[in-house]
Structure 1
Amino acid sequence: MAGGRNAREILGRMENVGRPQGCGLKEDLAVVDEARTVTFVGAQGLVLAADEWGSGAEGSVLLLHGGGQTRHSWKAAGAALAAEGRHVVALDLRGHGDSQWSPDADYDITFFRDDLLAVLTQVATPAILVGASLGGITALLATADRPDLVERLVLVDIATRLEADGVERIHAFMHSAPNGFASLEEAADAVADYLPHRDRPRRPEGLRKNLRLRDGRWYWHWDPRLFSSERRVAPEHAQATLDAAARAVEAPTLLLAGGQSDVLSDEGVEHLRTVIPHVEVRVLGEAAHTAAADDNDAFTAAVADFIRTA
């Protein structure tokens, strides 16, 4: 990856980052590093949970996780980007994490887009959108619909043309434990099988942020209706919709591609160049589809570099 510093180096620069005159507060590293949990109101009045860092002196950055993930998937990125003078919001998408589940199972991509557009009216705009997988598709559609609200767009291992086998592997994992897990260790084993390129954590306690204990078993903390088969869209229809949105994107755009991804191929990257000709592409060689978590330092440094050119 060209240029950049890792997340710890970026955080280390925080002592030299202050708010402009009139804001009256210069945050120290400890304050920036600590997330504040807040809520936003999304489409249909759904309450969406989020973590936020920083004051927003340089504008807002919204982090939008992938399907089946939560706002915790960004690791150190939130605090590091706040150290760049940004107000950073890591959102739990509807049906995920601590955000409300849709009573009517409204999980069409247009509802995720409308949630994001609603949140954008509650933060300083234009904002920088950073989206992985489902979050990236959401960010792409919102950018096309309301370009006035978006300063820059970062797509994390997602484009308009995806590899069917990789997408199917994701869906298979989402459906793999309908009855939950007997222990955190059993859940950690399932994650290790799904993400063989990562080292298995020695302690599985970190999974508590993604699981909830019910009746003695651990369940993924997302609405299982999110991934029901009847919600699957034909790939050709999905690509046509996303291509149309991509062609409307005028904001500076960065694609961070996982070098080991089975979802985004070289062909998918080249196709994205045809619909967003101004896209900048960086490859995170040690990362797969879950790029932000696979190589958090490289991911954070690449996003920080892109933001600095704004």
Structure 2
Amino acid sequence: MTTHPEGQTAILTTPDGTRLAYRDHHPAPAEAAGPLLLLHGLAGHQGEWDALARRLRSDGHRVVTYDARGHGASTRVPASTSRAAHVRDAVTVIGELSLAPVTLIGQSLGGHTAMLLAADHPDLVRSLVLVEAGPGGPNPDLPGRIAGWLDSWPTPFTSLEQARDFLGHEAWTRTLRKRGDGWYASFDRDVMIDSVAELATTAYWPQWSRITCPTLLVQGENGTMRPGEPERMLTLRPGTHHRLIPGAAHDVHLDQPDRLHQAIRTFLRTPPASP
């Protein structure tokens, strides 16, 4: 176990042998609110949540984050990149750390994982926060777009400053690896592309429709959710809370952590609607 400013980092091994690096951010002085599990997006890492985790800890929450399989300090090339494998990982984290019932907060692909988990394991989930994430699909162009984005990276980056300017946020540079000629991504390109393969062919509206826990949908004002997707989500589940965050793009948690925190804080303090 290693020490990180935001909590201790440890390794958990899943049933298929994938190693997941996680941090358990305990509140100070004592836990007064329910536990939260935060799931990052494609090509990201758990450190993206640091700013939000600090704020949520100050509210009395125990906050757990982890690097998804194929990301960060977790197994770089896992046995599977399927949506089901990602859900099983989150279920394993919840079970091993005794988090249930837990509030899931997921951004982008991590939000999609959280949505599927809430649909298939309602007993584990207290509430759900989706940040720039939804049922989507089918989206046949997605793998090609991800490949094009990754191939556009001018690697090796000559400096972390160049990487920050290109990627848009300092947080995106934290897992870059230094080699003799510069800085490279720590993840495997093909693993990233494979991780979105099912989203190219499948829509997940049935899963969205059967979720029963209180849910907050957060959009960035300049986000990338598909046209009409949020409106359909709210039509199918009219009790869903919805917040549009000004000044934020797809990475709401990095663009506007204060506004995102306030949206989540308000949602978690709102009494559940009567059946």
Superposed pair shares fold, TM > 0.5: yes
C-alpha displacement of 1:226: 1.9
Aligned partner of 2:213 among 251, 254, 267: 251
Say if 2:157 is the partner of 1:185: no
Gaps of 5+ in 1: 1-32, 193-200
AA in 2 matched with 1:78:
A
C-alpha distance after superposition, 1:136-174 (max 9, x if no partner): 010011111110000000000111236969956555322
C-alpha displacement of 1:265: 4.4
Normalising to structure 2: TM-score of the pair?
0.85
Deviates more, 1:152-161 or 1:211-220: 211-220
- Matched with 1:172 is 148
Taking structure 1 as reference, are residues 230 and 251 closer, same or farther at Cα in structure 2, changes over 3 Å only?
closer
What is the CA–CA distance in structure 1 between the aligned matches of 2:178 and 2:260, rounded to whole Å? 31
Aligned residue for 1:287, secondary structure, equals coil
AA in 1 matched with 2:202:
A
- Matched with 2:191 is 226
What is the CA–CA distance in structure 1 between the aligned matches of 2:159 and 2:114, rounded to whole Å? 35
What is the CA–CA distance in structure 2 between the aligned matches of 1:163 and 1:295, rounded to whole Å? 29
Taking structure 1 as reference, are residues 190 and 181 closer, same or farther at Cα in structure 2, changes over 3 Å only?
same
- Matched with 1:155 is 130
Aligned residue for 2:70, secondary structure, equals coil
**How many residue pairs end up in the alignment?**
262
Indicate conservation of the 8 Å contact 1:255/1:279, yes or no: yes
Indicate conservation of the 8 Å contact 2:105/2:130, yes or no: yes
What is the CA–CA distance in structure 2 between the aligned matches of 1:188 and 1:277, rounded to whole Å? 39
Deviates more, 1:42-51 or 1:280-289: 42-51
Say if 2:212 is the partner of 1:238: no
Say if 2:238 is the partner of 1:277: yes
Aligned partner of 2:249 among 279, 288, 291: 288
Taking structure 1 as reference, are residues 230 and 220 closer, same or farther at Cα in structure 2, changes over 3 Å only?
closer
| Structure label with greater radius of gyration | 1
Aligned residue for 2:136, secondary structure, equals coil
AA in 2 matched with 1:218:
W
Say if 2:11 is the partner of 1:35: no
Aligned partner of 1:110 among 79, 84, 90: 84
C-alpha distance after superposition, 1:26-69 (max 9, x if no partner): xxxxxxx7422233333413221122222544331011001011
C-alpha distance after superposition, 1:232-253 (max 9, x if no partner): 3464x321xx111111100000
C-alpha displacement of 1:267: 1.1
Aligned partner of 2:105 among 127, 130, 137: 130
Indicate conservation of the 8 Å contact 2:220/2:249, yes or no: yes
Taking structure 1 as reference, are residues 103 and 156 closer, same or farther at Cα in structure 2, changes over 3 Å only?
closer
Taking structure 1 as reference, are residues 169 and 125 closer, same or farther at Cα in structure 2, changes over 3 Å only?
same
C-alpha distance after superposition, 1:4-35 (max 9, x if no partner): xxxxxxxxxxxxxxxxxxxxxxxxxxxxx742
What is the CA–CA distance in structure 2 between the aligned matches of 1:141 and 1:213, rounded to whole Å? 36
Gaps of 5+ in 2: none
What is the CA–CA distance in structure 1 between the aligned matches of 2:195 and 2:233, rounded to whole Å? 28
Aligned partner of 1:212 among 177, 181, 200: 177
Aligned partner of 1:308 among 261, 269, 272: 269
What is the CA–CA distance in structure 2 between the aligned matches of 1:234 and 1:162, rounded to whole Å? 6
Taking structure 1 as reference, are residues 230 and 68 closer, same or farther at Cα in structure 2, changes over 3 Å only?
closer
CA RMSD of aligned residues (A): 2.6
AA in 1 matched with 2:161:
E
- Identity among equivalent positions (%) equals 31
Taking structure 1 as reference, are residues 221 and 147 closer, same or farther at Cα in structure 2, changes over 3 Å only?
same
Indicate conservation of the 8 Å contact 1:127/1:149, yes or no: yes
AA in 1 matched with 2:214:
P
Taking structure 1 as reference, are residues 43 and 280 closer, same or farther at Cα in structure 2, changes over 3 Å only?
farther
